[in-house]
Structure 1
């Protein structure tokens, strides 16, 4: 399993932003990430300077949204939807996209449930619970 470091993730998104600005060739994964970068212009300044991005502090006490975490979660959710894993995430996404009339807002709804699942896993020391994640998504679909 590939486990990128914080710096790896930040470099990944900064490089994609820079390639996109120069109309460079992107891999399929980079193309998906670039689509999310385009939809978040509020992060472009953070992505424009790789060295500053590597040093930036996005701890909770700083009160700033971590653009790299946010974009990583979009990428994770896109992958989950594409392979319907955990089972039911694609149907929940489709229902949320219809409900909110926005695929982007559907991602943000899923992101909240994903964040809760990860937080619970870290707090309890148990593996992530895919079933409770899907149940949380289904609750958002009502």
Structure 2
């Protein structure tokens, strides 16, 4: 299993941003990351220097989103949907996308569910509950 460090993730995303700006060729995962980076121009300054990104502690800035965590969650949800793991997440995100008329907004709503699932898992000392995650996304997809 691939388990990159925080520095690895930050260097990867900064590298993708650099390649995008240069029009350099990319691997498939880099292309996917570049699409999410393009959706978040507010993060481009954070992505401009890998060394600064690795050195920065986003926990010290309450109320500010960590762009690397945010973009990583977009990539995670994209990957989950591509392989439908946990089973049913693809359909739940598709339903949410249709309801919100935006894949980007659906991902942001799913991120709340993903974060909730991970927090609960850590709090309870149990493995993540994929079915609870899917149920949360489905509730958001059917909410009036």
* TM-score above 0.5, yes or no: yes
Instruction: Note the alpha carbon deviations across 1:11-63, whole angstroms, 9 max, x for none.
Output: 00000000110000100000000000001000000000111111111116532
Q: Hey, what's the Cα distance between the residues in 2 that align with 1:2 and 1:85?
A: 16
Any residues of structure 2 matched to 1:20-99 within 5 Å, and which?
A: 20-59=20-59, 62-99=62-99
Q: Hey, what's the Cα distance between the residues in 1 that align with 2:41 and 2:123?
A: 33
Q: Hey, what's the Cα distance between the residues in 2 that align with 1:126 and 1:55?
A: 31
Instruction: Note the alpha carbon deviations across 1:65-96, whole angstroms, 9 max, x for none.
Output: 10000000000000011111111111111111
- Alpha carbons of 1:60 and 1:112: their partners in 2 closer, same or farther (altered >3 Å)? farther
Structure 2: gaps of 5 or more residues:
none
Query: Match of 1:9?
Result: 9
SS in 2 for 1:47: coil
Query: Match of 1:137?
Result: 137
Structure 1: gaps of 5 or more residues:
none
SS in 2 for 1:62: coil
- Counting matched residue pairs gives 142
